[in-house]
Copies of this chain bind each other. A is one copy, B any other.
Amino acid sequence: MKLKIMENSGFCFGVRRAIDIAKNATKKYEKVVTLGPIIHNPQMVEYLRKKGLRYINNISEINDEAVVIRSHGITYDDYKKLKNMDVKIVDATCPIVKKAQKFAQKLTKEGYQLVVLGDKYHPEVEALLSYVDDSCIVVADIDNDLELNNDKVGLIAQTTQSETKFEQLAYKLISKTYELRIVRTICNATKLRQEKTAKLAKKSDLMIVVGGKNSANTTRLAEISAENGCETHHIEVANEIDFNWFKGKMKIGLTAGASTPDWIINKVKNNLKKYIENEDKNS
């Protein structure tokens, strides 16, 4: 049995940056909170809570704490509220997410009806939607009909969306518009990770995808792996592994989301290695 671990697994630039910013804030300010979990990884959020960084779900819970804006950004309304309060704001929004917000705002301002490929309940998209007008359409399933009311349409995506899906949606829009402005706001690291996951899935008999169950990018990796015809298990931590999965399997692939900390990936990796060594000895 062989284990192949995908390169570039684990923290992306935006997540690493957000965590560094948050850690520094805990050193600089006596009391710090984040509005929503800083990243979509419960284990990392718990680790940071022990370091003094707890999260709240609503601005009304803030007293005199410094507030860290998490990697997914916050809504414009929330930002205005924070500005009006006498609190320190530490902005850890991922620069790629911020770029998407800026394009959303720009296209809306220039009279485009905005179409966003993404999940409208994801905090990144919720924040983005606060910068656009009511005509904006969020598309999760590209097979659904689109109700366009403007022949000038702008298309962007949640940063963790699939490139293939984005291109398919763009193609669908070409024939429906007079002017179509497509801005590929998808994160390159995400794209690369997705491509590598697809490749690894094709060569593996079983894939383990590690990361928060609430993490959009990890969930996408698990989907892509399954779409490429490979039995796939999405786990958050090492002890979720059921070694019965490996019966009759020869090639195991391992990958992890952009918000999965190294210590969790390493634990999974070591457990798998030990299991494989034992199996090889006994065979």
Contacts and interface: CB of A to CB of B under 8 A. Distances in A.
A75 interface: no
A17 interface: no
Contacts of A167: 171, 174-175
B182 A180 contact: yes
Contact of A182 (B163, B174, B184): B174
Interface string A172-207: 001101111111100000000000000000000000
B182 A179 contact: yes
Nearest to A171: B171
A129 interface: no
A170 interface: yes
Contacts of A182: 174, 177, 179-182
A183 B178 CA distance: 6
Contact of A183 (B175, B179, B184): B179
Interface in A152-175: 163, 167, 170-171, 174-175
Main secondary structure of the interface of A (DSSP, over half): mixed
A74 B43 CA distance: 67
Contact of A184 (B170, B171, B177): B177
A135 to B, nearest CB: 19
- Please indicate which of the listed interface residues A174, A175, A179, A183 has the most CB atoms of chain B within 10 Å of its own CB: A174
A175 B184 CA distance: 9
B179 A170 contact: no
Nearest to A180: B182
B171 A174 contact: yes
Contacts of A170: 171, 174, 180
A182 B167 CA distance: 14
A182 B182 CA distance: 8
A155 to B, nearest CB: 9
Interface of A: 163, 167, 170-171, 174-175, 177-184
The 3 A-B residue pairs with the shortest CB-CB distance, nearest first, are A180-B182, A181-B181, A179-B183
10 contacts: A170-B174, A177-B184, A178-B183, A178-B184, A179-B182, A179-B183, A179-B184, A180-B182, A181-B181, A182-B182
Given A177-B184, A181-B182, A182-B182, 20 more contacts: A163-B175, A167-B171, A167-B174, A167-B175, A170-B171, A170-B174, A170-B180, A171-B171, A171-B174, A174-B182, A177-B182, A178-B183, A178-B184, A179-B181, A179-B182, A179-B183, A179-B184, A180-B181, A180-B182, A181-B181
